[in-house]
């Protein structure tokens, strides 16, 4: 249903073209949930924005294609792009506190979106808005329609945001760190809600997060990103149980154990190369504990069977 | 809206306090700037007669008594008699106030009607050449002193083109308690140049403020989210963004309208506009204390009233201030 092929995102700063996303390909079946995980600056959000056509200049797609339900959407502009936004691809942003316009009631924002995009009357739109809020588990939706964002708690606001993202029945929802800004006690609820709502609406989900717990809970497949590339992609369970890329192994190892309290938390030594750094070899090689000479010389491609691919010279599939 | 009333009463109380302080300052003018008896009688009058008058006018009473009397009179619009014109200040103001208020009103309408749309335009199309031209012009507008603009406009439109009068208020229609220049052709023509002069600075200020606020708002998450929902630009710009832009703009604009009344002094002098500002300048030259002190009180009163209106407007625009905080947030905790 969604086909991203060799997408490149660049930004031009002081006449230098910097690569932010460097050749990412992935595909998504109808109703499937894909997680994208990686540390800050790996390009997760950029990828989400690139797919949704939400890149802000000077960021732009410099190559590759995005196809949604057989139609290319990466080169759309103006009205055509607007027709895709919300209606085909819904987005959920990180911070529910700032995602809602503080000066309009939540009902106003929902009804406005539904009437302008679906061309139906206010009364009908209102009924839909109430039903949507009801489905998100918001108590007294009919009454709370007239309330303003500041009158809701963070978790409740994210429910409203979910209702807004789903109110046009998109085939794909891109959720960019939807729980990061929330209280830990609410995170699991929101993730489960996102999962259930998208199932009900038949929407596929791209869930962007740096939280492996969220990935394990809510996704069927996961893509691990590092320095603008996918370094490993596969069914979530297999990637978590048997990671094939040293970076994924590092990520897994840095999850604090719950049964004991180590003196030091495990971490991956070093930091990600800065944007614009061009390495001849694997971008992870400077930090990789098991790197060999070849790793510093050439960039490995994604390889592997059974839908579990890794980009590593040390992985048997590559050699 | 339940908390609006106590808030209004609170602000009203503050306003009264401010007015009392200003009243005290303007009251002090009488005791510290010159001697009113001298001003009334001149130098050559007998000392016993002076003392008699001082006693009759209550000038020998203790300061608090005189201040309370001053405030009591001021509340009734009674500020004494102008030294220079020998007519009651209230009557003098009654003749002059309409001229100033009409000028300020026209200037405010021009500044808002052009400033807000220009600012919004410059923000939405910030990379277009036309928006950059607006931005450059606004720099000129903000740097030119009012008297220079006034004289330039007179030179171009009165002297060179002979289109508009350079001074005065034109024909005025007397409505009994108000004299208006809005109803006659010559009155309207006379209003154009002074109003534009007075408006220009405020216009550019409002435009620049709206532009920068709007740019700020356009970067927010809720605007991005509105775009991600595919709302048309027209709705995003003119409904979502403009309304958020207006919250801070209202404050500044309110204060600016107050200073329009105060700034009118210069414009009125340049155009010989028969308003409060001109009256005040003449009062200063003649040390006409009653007029000066009344002017001070009146301007302060305008500022207090405008601030009060701004506070109320704030509440009308921003639901976060409407005092409904307490009945929502507790109930919906997840």
Per-residue confidence at A41, pLDDT binned at 50, 70, 90?
confident
Is position A166 within any domain?
Answer: yes
Q: What is residue A7's predicted lDDT score, i.e. its pLDDT?
A: 93
Per-residue confidence at A33, pLDDT binned at 50, 70, 90?
very high
* Beta-carbon separation of A83 and B329 below 8 A: no
* Beta-carbon separation of A165 and B229 below 8 A: yes
- CB distance from B228 to chain A under 8 Å? yes
- Across the beta sheet with A71-72, the strand order is A16-28, A2-13, A60-68, A71-72
What tokens does A170 get? Answer: 């998109």
The residue ranking higher by pLDDT, A259 or A4, is A4
Task: Please list every residue in chain B whose beta carbon sits closer than 8 Å to the beta carbon of residue A150.
Answer: 319-320, 325, 329
Which residue of A57, A84, A86, A101 to mutate against B (max B Cβ within 10 Å)? A101
Average pLDDT over residues B118-125: 93
- For the four alpha carbons of B237, B240, B241 and B242, in that order, the dihedral sign comes to positive
Is position A175 within any domain?
Answer: yes
Minimal Cβ distance to A85: which of B228, B317, B331 = B228
A161 neighbors B221 (Cβ within 8 angstroms): no
Q: What is residue B330's predicted lDDT score, i.e. its pLDDT?
A: 36
DSSP assigned state of B81:
B
Average pLDDT over residues A51-70: 90
* pLDDT of B227 above 90: yes
How far is residue A138's CA from residue A130's CA, in Å, rounded to a whole number? 9
* pLDDT of B219 above 50: yes
Is position A120 within any domain?
Answer: no
- CB distance from B32 to chain A under 8 Å? no
Q: What is residue B34's predicted lDDT score, i.e. its pLDDT?
A: 66
Is position A142 within any domain?
Answer: no
Q: What is residue A9's predicted lDDT score, i.e. its pLDDT?
A: 93
How far is residue B160's CA from residue B163's CA, in Å, rounded to a whole number? 8
How far is residue B124's CA from residue B118's CA, in Å, rounded to a whole number? 10
Residue entry with tokens 């790996």: A42
Per-residue confidence at B65, pLDDT binned at 50, 70, 90?
confident
* Beta-carbon separation of A113 and B229 below 8 A: yes
Per-residue confidence at A307, pLDDT binned at 50, 70, 90?
confident
Minimal Cβ distance to B334: which of A82, A91, A189 = A189
Q: What is residue B328's predicted lDDT score, i.e. its pLDDT?
A: 37
**pLDDT tens digits, residue range B270-325?**
898 888 888 888 888 887 888 888 888 988 998 899 888 888 888 877 877 765 43
* Beta-carbon separation of B221 and A95 below 8 A: yes
Mean pLDDT over each residue of chain B, to the nearest integer? 84
How far is residue B321's CA from residue B325's CA, in Å, rounded to a whole number? 8
Is position A275 within any domain?
Answer: yes
Q: What is residue B329's predicted lDDT score, i.e. its pLDDT?
A: 37
Q: What is residue B182's predicted lDDT score, i.e. its pLDDT?
A: 83
Per-residue confidence at A317, pLDDT binned at 50, 70, 90?
low
Task: Please list every residue in chain B whose beta carbon sits closer than 8 Å to the beta carbon of residue A168.
Answer: 229-230
The continuous run of DSSP H or E covering A203 comes out as: none
Task: Please list every residue in chain B whose beta carbon sits closer than 8 Å to the beta carbon of residue A186.
Answer: 334
**Residue A157 belongs to domain with CATH number:** 3.40.50.300
**Residues present in chain B in total:** 334
Report the number of distinct structural domains present in chain A: 1
**pLDDT tens digits, residue range A252-268?**
888 877 777 777 777 88
Task: Please list every residue in chain B whose beta carbon sits closer than 8 Å to the beta carbon of residue A155.
Answer: 333-334
Q: What is residue B327's predicted lDDT score, i.e. its pLDDT?
A: 37
Task: Please list every residue in chain B whose beta carbon sits closer than 8 Å to the beta carbon of residue A68.
Answer: none
How far is residue B161's CA from residue B158's CA, in Å, rounded to a whole number? 6
Per-residue confidence at A49, pLDDT binned at 50, 70, 90?
very high
Burial level of A81, CB count in 10 A (0-12/13-18/19+)?
middle
* pLDDT of A155 above 50: yes
CA distance B3 to chain A (A): 16
How far is residue B243's CA from residue B231's CA, in Å, rounded to a whole number? 16
CA distance B244 to chain A (A): 7
Is position A117 within any domain?
Answer: no
Comparing C-alpha atoms, which of A56, A81, A165 is closest to residue B219? Answer: A56
Residues in chain A whose beta carbon is closer than 8 A to a beta carbon of chain B? 52, 54, 82-87, 90-91, 93, 95, 98-105, 112-113, 116-117, 138-139, 144, 147-148, 150-153, 155-156, 159, 161, 164-165, 168, 186, 189
**pLDDT tens digits, residue range A107-145?**
999 999 999 999 999 999 999 999 999 999 898 999 999
What tokens does A74 get? Answer: 């990466």
Write the Ramachandran bin of B211: left for phi over 0, alpha for psi from -120 to 50, otherwise beta. alpha
Is position A143 within any domain?
Answer: no
How many helices (H) and strands (E) chain A has is answered by: 11, 11
Per-residue confidence at A285, pLDDT binned at 50, 70, 90?
confident
Per-residue confidence at A319, pLDDT binned at 50, 70, 90?
low
Q: What is residue A217's predicted lDDT score, i.e. its pLDDT?
A: 86
- Cα B186 → chain centroid: 25
What tokens does B70 get? Answer: 């001053």
Max intra-chain CA distance, chain A: 67
Other C-beta atoms closer than 10 Å to the C-beta of B104 total 26
Average pLDDT over residues B89-118: 90
DSSP assigned state of A301:
P
How far is residue A13's CA from residue A17's CA, in Å, rounded to a whole number? 7
What tokens does B39 get? Answer: 């001003």
Comparing C-alpha atoms, which of B18, B56, B89 is closest to residue B293? Answer: B89
- CB distance from B330 to chain A under 8 Å? no
Q: Which residue of B has its CA nearest to A80?
A: B230
Average pLDDT over residues B131-135: 89
Q: What is residue B169's predicted lDDT score, i.e. its pLDDT?
A: 84
* pLDDT of B83 above 80: no
Q: What is residue A104's predicted lDDT score, i.e. its pLDDT?
A: 93
Average pLDDT over residues B111-120: 92
Minimal Cβ distance to A82: which of B220, B232, B332 = B232
Comparing C-alpha atoms, which of B329, B316, B331 is closest to residue B4? Answer: B316
Q: Which residue of B has its CA nearest to A145?
A: B328
**pLDDT tens digits, residue range A180-220?**
888 888 888 888 899 899 988 889 999 999 888 889 888 99
Q: What is residue B28's predicted lDDT score, i.e. its pLDDT?
A: 85
CA distance B229 to chain A (A): 4
The pTM (predicted TM-score) of the whole model is 0.81
Query: Highest mean pLDDT range out of A279-288, B51-60, B216-225?
Result: B216-225
Q: What is residue B334's predicted lDDT score, i.e. its pLDDT?
A: 34
**pLDDT tens digits, residue range A74-117?**
888 888 999 999 999 999 988 888 999 999 999 999 999 999 99
Minimal Cβ distance to A117: which of B230, B243, B317 = B230
* pLDDT of B150 above 50: yes
Q: Which residue of B has its CA nearest to A86?
A: B229
Its ipTM equals 0.89
* pLDDT of A232 above 50: yes
Per-residue confidence at B211, pLDDT binned at 50, 70, 90?
very high
* pLDDT of A35 above 90: yes
* Beta-carbon separation of B332 and A105 below 8 A: no
Is position A119 within any domain?
Answer: no
Q: What is residue B2's predicted lDDT score, i.e. its pLDDT?
A: 55
Q: What is residue B39's predicted lDDT score, i.e. its pLDDT?
A: 67
Mean pLDDT over each residue of chain A, to the nearest integer? 89
Q: Which residue of B has its CA nearest to A144?
A: B328
Task: Count CA atoms closer than 13 A to A14's CA, side-chain side.
Answer: 1
* Beta-carbon separation of B228 and A91 below 8 A: yes
Compute CA distances A279 → A94, A275, A296, B75, B91, whole Å: 31, 11, 8, 80, 85
* Beta-carbon separation of A54 and B328 below 8 A: no
Domain housing A12:
2-103+148-310
Q: Mark B158-172 as b/e (b = at least 16 C-beta within 10 Å).
A: beeeeebbbebbeeb
Q: What is residue A318's predicted lDDT score, i.e. its pLDDT?
A: 56
Average pLDDT over residues B169-195: 84
């Amino acid at each position: 249903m969604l086909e991203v092929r060799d997408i490149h995102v660049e930004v031009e700063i002081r006449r230098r073209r910097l690569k932010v996303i460097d050749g990412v390909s992935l595909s998504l079946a109808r109703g499937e949930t894909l997680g994208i995980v990686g540390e800050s600056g790996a390009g997760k959000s950029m990828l989400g924005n690139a797919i949704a056509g939400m890149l802000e200049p000077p960021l732009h797609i410099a190559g590759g294609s995005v196809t949604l339900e057989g139609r290319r959407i990466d080169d759309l502009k103006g009205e055509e792009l607007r027709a895709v936004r919300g209606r085909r691809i819904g987005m959920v942003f990180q911070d529910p506190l700032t995602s809602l316009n503080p000066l309009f009631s939540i009902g106003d924002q929902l009804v406005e979106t539904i009437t302008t995009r679906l061309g139906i009357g206010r009364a009908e739109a209102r009924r839909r808005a109430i039903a949507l809020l009801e489905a998100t588990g918001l108590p007294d939706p009919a009454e709370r329609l007239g309330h303003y964002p500041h009158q809701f708690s963070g978790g409740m606001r994210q429910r409203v945001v979910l209702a807004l993202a789903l109110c046009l029945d998109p085939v794909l929802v891109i959720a960019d760190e939807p729980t990061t800004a929330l209280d830990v006690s609410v995170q699991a609820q929101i993730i489960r809600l996102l999962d259930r709502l998208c199932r009900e609406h038949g929407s596929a989900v791209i869930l962007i997060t740096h939280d492996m717990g969220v990935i394990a809970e809510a996704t069927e497949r996961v893509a691990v990103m590092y320095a603008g590339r996918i370094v490993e992609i596969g069914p979530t369970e297999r990637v978590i149980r048997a990671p094939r890329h040293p970076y994924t192994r590092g990520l897994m190892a840095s999850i604090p154990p719950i049964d004991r309290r180590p003196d030091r938390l495990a971490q991956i030594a070093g930091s990600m190369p800065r944007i614009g750094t061009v390495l001849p070899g694997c971008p992870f090689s400077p930090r990789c504990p098991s790197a060999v000479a070849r790793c510093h010389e050439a960039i490995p491609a994604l390889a592997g069977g059974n839908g579990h691919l890794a980009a590593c010279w040390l992985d048997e599939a590559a050699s | 809206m339940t908390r609006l009333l106590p808030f209004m009463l609170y602000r009203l109380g503050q306003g009264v306090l401010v007015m009392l302080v200003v009243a005290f300052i303007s009251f002090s003018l009488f005791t510290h700037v010159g001697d009113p008896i001298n001003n009334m009688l001149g130098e050559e009058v007998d000392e016993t007669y002076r003392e008699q008058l001082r006693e009759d006018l209550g000038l020998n009473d203790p300061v608090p008594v005189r201040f309370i009397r001053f405030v009591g009179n001021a509340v009734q619009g009674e500020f004494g008699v102008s030294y220079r014109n020998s007519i009651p200040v209230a009557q003098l103001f009654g003749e002059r106030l309409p001229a100033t208020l009409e000028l300020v009103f026209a200037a405010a309408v021009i500044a808002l009607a052009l400033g807000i749309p220009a600012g919004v335009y410059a923000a939405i199309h910030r990379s277009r050449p036309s928006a950059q031209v607006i931005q450059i012009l606004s720099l000129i507008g903000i740097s030119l002193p009012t008297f220079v603009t006034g004289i330039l406009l007179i030179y171009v439109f009165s002297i060179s083109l002979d289109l508009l009068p350079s001074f005065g208020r034109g024909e005025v229609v007397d409505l009994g308690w108000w004299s208006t220049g809005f109803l006659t052709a010559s009155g309207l023509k006379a209003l154009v140049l002074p109003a534009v002069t007075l408006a220009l600075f405020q216009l550019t200020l409002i435009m620049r403020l709206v532009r920068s606020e709007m740019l700020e708002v356009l970067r927010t998450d809720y605007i991005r989210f509105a775009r991600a929902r595919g709302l048309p630009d027209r709705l995003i710009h003119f409904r979502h963004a403009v309304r958020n832009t207006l919250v801070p703009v209202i404050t500044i604009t309110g204060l600016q309208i107050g200073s329009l009344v105060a700034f009118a002094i210069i414009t009125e002098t340049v155009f010989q506009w028969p308003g409060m500002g001109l009256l005040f300048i003449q009062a200063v030259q003649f040390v006409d204390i009653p007029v000066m002190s009344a002017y001070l009180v009146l301007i302060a009163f305008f500022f207090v009233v405008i601030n009060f209106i701004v506070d109320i407007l704030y509440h009308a625009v921003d639901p976060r201030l409407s005092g409904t905080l307490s009945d929502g947030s507790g109930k919906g905790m997840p």
